A and B are shown apart, each in its own frame.
Chain A
Amino acid sequence: MRLKRPGIPYIIWMVVFTLIPIVFILFYAFTDRSGAFSFQAFFKAFGYTDVFLRSIWIAFISTFICLVLAYPLAYFMSRLKQSTQNLLTMIIMIPMWMNFLLRIYAWVTLLQNNGPIDTLLGFFGIHTQLLGNQGAVILGMVYEYLPFMVLPLYTVMAKIDSGLIEAADDLGANRLSTLRKVVFPLSVPGIISGVTMVFVPSASTFLVAQYLGGTGDIMIGDVIDKIFWSDQNTGSAIALILMVAIFIFLVILNFFGDEEAIAA
């Protein structure tokens, strides 16, 4: 009586448009231009180790800043009355639905020489290059992905029964230990999905660095973009390494999450 057949078109679709393309990536990564089996592409890919590590580093810093900024906000939101919660959620979501390039481009306008911020700082006699450095790239990332950290954290925290927090207060826990002993363990799933949603796109993004960073700030996503049009083998190898690295990261993160859940 329970039907499995409706799933078949989708399963076929996923095989054709998700699994087969990955097989192509695998094939290209392990062959050379003539189509013969080769590790050449990987050797070339290792030439970009510094870019790779920088991307991970920038993603890590951006994720960390997002977490630090989002956590108190999410907690505060979750303790408000329902209608205010909904309103704030909407306010935070609206910029997220704006086109990603427009959001980055707005920061170019803001940060450029003689732009609003530069002009403002000029009044205080500060003259500095705001665009074209790693700081600007991280700022762009944080701006881009902050809502992706706030929303999962808020969703999880909103489900924490406020009676639980009151009970902890009642049992003599001060605010800080209430946070540490009650709110934090219960919010771990939110942290996990927030970190996933920020880290994965920021490690692999392209264009943000091209818009906001200097020539030395390009990231692995930009490299894939640049290379792929001319050398698909190396491009595939880098894409493969990136994908594997991110899946390993996700597995570790989720494992960590399970442990936390048991401990809590």
Chain B
Amino acid sequence: MKKLYKIYTALIIFFMYMPVAVFIIFSFNDGKTSVWKGFSLRWYANLFQDKLIMNALWNTLIIAVIASVIATILGTLAAIGINNFSGRKRIILLNVSNIPILSPDVVTGVSLMLMFTIVGVAFHFQMGFWTVLLAHISFCAPYVVLSVLPRIRHMDYSIYEAALDLGCNQFQAFGKVVIHELMPGIFTGFLMSFTYSLDDFVITYFTKGASFQTLSIKIYTMTHQRINPKVNALSALMFLAIVIIMVTINLKDRHDEKKRGVIH
């Protein structure tokens, strides 16, 4: 039985990594098609010389950093505020907060596009960096709320009171004590925001306007012509980056757990 499960798991993992393996292999292909023509690094070289791709990468990172920082601040404060509401008000707030998470990306995207276009006409601005940033903050902040709320609920409230008792005003109590307790939730929320922002295509697609480009958008225009080996090189590099990030986080978690393990 156990063996059967192992084979099954291996098959699933094979299924999930087969496409990854394909683009890694073909990123080193000297030819332009999916027929193997010999080993080469020319697509990597091409990739780094492509100003447009590098520019899109820069835009993606800038948007992801700013959006996730603002979303984290907004969402953390919101979680504290929402937690202090009770009964129906709290349920309504939580449900509204969950709308961007539950409603389809296409709908979120077109509804924002509609608003930005109309407001843009009225105030003479065009969609671009700013609209993408606003959109990203909007769909990231709810994830921060979701990850911080449980920390607040499980926090020992008397820790906050102890800080007040020892002479803190409410802001000091928050900055010196409460925030340390919420940190794991805030960090998770930030990480989620950052990755969702990096990964987003649909909402960016509708709110980017005419000329603004992120990596997802660039990949879209490149892949629309069906075959473009530069995309393989880009994918391989992104895969590498993700593996490094994930392994680091995992090792850090394990290290933290060990540290905690000693205490108990």
Bound-complex Cα distance A84 to B202 (A)? 35
Whether A98 sits at the interface, judged by CB under 8 Å, is: yes
**Is A250 an interface residue, CB under 8 A from the partner?**
yes
Given that A3-B84, A17-B134, A17-B138 are known contacts, is A76 also in contact with B111, CB under 8 Å in the complex? no
Residue pair A97, B34 in contact (C-beta under 8 Å):
no
- Tell me whether chain B's interface is mostly helix, strand or loop, or mixed: helix
- Could you list 29 examples of A-B contacts with CB < 8 Å? A4-B81, A4-B85, A8-B81, A10-B75, A10-B97, A10-B141, A10-B145, A14-B97, A17-B134, A18-B100, A19-B99, A22-B99, A72-B5, A76-B9, A90-B246, A92-B13, A98-B20, A105-B219, A105-B235, A109-B23, A109-B26, A109-B34, A116-B34, A146-B12, A207-B201, A224-B106, A228-B110, A232-B114, A243-B104
Asked if residues B99 and A11 are in contact (CB atoms below 8 Å), the reply is no
Determine if A247 is an interface residue (Cβ-Cβ < 8 Å).
yes
Q: Is A114 on the interface with B (CB-CB < 8 A)?
A: yes
Write out, one digit per residue, whether chain A residues 63-88 have a CB within 8 A of any chain B CB (1) or not (0). 00000010011001100000100101
Given A13-B138, A143-B16, A102:B235 Cβ within 8 A: yes
Decide yes or no whether A159 CB sits under 8 A from chain B. Answer: no
Chain A residues whose C-beta falls within 8 Å of the C-beta of B81 in the assembled complex = 3-8, 10-11
Residues of the B chain whose Cβ atoms lie less than 8 Å from the Cβ of A175: 1
Contact across chains for A204 and B107 when beta carbons are under 8 A apart: yes
**A206-B106 contact given A14-B97, A24-B111, A24-B114, CB 8 Å threshold:** yes
User: Do B113 and A2 have beta carbons less than 8 Å apart?
Assistant: no
From 213 to 264 in chain B, residues with beta carbon under 8 angstroms from any chain A beta carbon are: 215-216, 219-220, 223, 226-227, 231-232, 234-235, 238-239, 242-243, 246-247, 250, 253-254
Say yes or no: is B102 at the interface (Cβ < 8 Å to chain A): yes
A-B contacts counted at CB < 8 A amount to 216
For A235, list chain B residues within 8 Å (CB).
110
Determine if A7 and B77 form an interchain contact, defined as CB atoms under 8 angstroms apart. yes
Interchain nearest-CB distance for A253 vs B (Å): 11
Name the residue of chain A whose CB is nearest to the CB of B234: A102
Known: A98-B20, A105-B23. 7 other contacts (CB 8 A): A3-B80, A7-B78, A14-B99, A24-B114, A99-B238, A201-B104, A201-B105
Which of B75, B106, B253 sits near A242, CB closer than 8 Å? Answer: B106
Q: Is B74 an interface residue (CB 8 A)?
A: yes
* Minimum C-beta distance from A82 to chain B (A): 9
Roughly how many angstroms separate A3 CA and B231 CA in the complex, as a whole number?
A: 50
Kindly state whether residue A216 has any CB partner on chain B within 8 Å: no
Per-residue CB proximity of A98-109 to B under 8 Å, as 1/0?
A: 111111011111
Is A200 within 8 A of B102, CB to CB?
yes
The verdict on B40 contacting chain A, using a C-beta distance below 8 Å, is no
A98 CA to B114 CA, complexed, in Å: 29
Is there contact, CB below 8 Å, between B104 and A92?
A: no
Query: What number of A residues sit within 8 Å (CB to CB) of B?
Result: 78
Which A positions have Cβ atoms within 8 angstroms of B? 2-11, 13-14, 17-22, 24-25, 28, 69, 72-73, 76-77, 83, 86, 88, 90-95, 97-103, 105-110, 112, 114-116, 143, 146-147, 175, 196, 200-201, 203-207, 211, 221, 224-225, 228, 232, 235-236, 239, 242-243, 246-247, 250
B54 within 8 A of A: no
Complex: chain B residue closest to A8, CB-CB: B81
For residue A175, which residue of chain B has the nearest CB? B1
Chain B residues near A95 (CB, 8 Å)? Answer: 16-17, 19-20
- State whether B84 touches A73 (Cβ < 8 A): no
Contact indicator B242/A98 (Cβ below 8 Å) = yes
Q: Judge whether B199 is part of the interface by a CB distance below 8 angstroms.
A: yes
- Interchain nearest-CB distance for B110 vs A (Å): 5
Interface residue B183 (Cβ < 8 Å from any Cβ of A): no
Q: In the assembled complex, which residues on chain A have CB atoms less than 8 Å from the CB atom of B195? A: 97
- A224 and B80 form a contact (CB under 8 A): no
Candidates A24, A102, A205; contact of B219 at CB < 8 Å: A102
Query: Is B22 interfacial (CB 8 A cutoff)?
Result: yes
Choose one: B20, B104, B112; the contact of A17 (CB below 8 Å): B112
Cβ of B75 and Cβ of A101 under 8 Å apart?
no
B31, chain A: closest CB distance, angstroms:
12
The distance in angstroms between the C-alpha atoms of A221 and B108, with both chains bound, is 12
Q: CA A5 – CA B187 in complex, angstroms? A: 22
Contact of B107 among A25, A99, A211, A232 (CB under 8 A): A25
CB distance from B228 to the nearest CB of A (A): 9
Q: Which residue on chain B has the smallest CB distance to residue A224?
A: B106
Q: Which of B122-143 contact A (CB under 8 A)?
A: 134-135, 137-138, 141
Q: How far is the CA of A19 from the CA of B17 in the complex (A)?
A: 40
Give min CB distance, A108 to chain B, whole Å.
Answer: 7
A77 to B234, CA, bound (A): 32
Residue on A with the closest CB to B70? Answer: A13
